[in-house]
Amino acid sequence: VRECPVHAIPKEDMTRTDEDMCISCMRCIAVCPSGSRKLNKVMVNVAAQKLKKACAEPKQNELFL
């Protein structure tokens, strides 16, 4: 609870996360002493596949003004 930089985890119920406040920094997962906060493996695999496809070849830099 203390480690969350935006205080998205209420002290009254540490199993919950205020999704409106959460910035998805993953700090809670990194410091959870019991290991009860973790990523959904299916979602991690889906994200990894999307990143693999998106990063498969170099892209030119673009500047939008």
Which pTM value belongs to this model? 0.60
Distant-in-sequence, close-in-space partners of 37: CB < 8 Å, separation ≥ 6: 28, 29
User: What is each CA distance from 65 to 28, 32, 61, in whole angstroms?
Assistant: 36, 42, 13
Which two structure tokens, joined as six digits, stand for 8?
Answer: 């998205």
Q: How many whole angstroms separate alpha carbon 44 and alpha carbon 50?
A: 10
pLDDT in tens, 9-63: 999 999 899 999 999 999 999 999 888 888 889 989 999 999 999 999 998 999 9
Percent of the chain whose predicted confidence (pLDDT) is above 90 = 72
Position 1 confidence tier, pLDDT thresholds 50, 70, 90 = confident
Distant-in-sequence, close-in-space partners of 5: CB < 8 Å, separation ≥ 6: 23, 25, 27
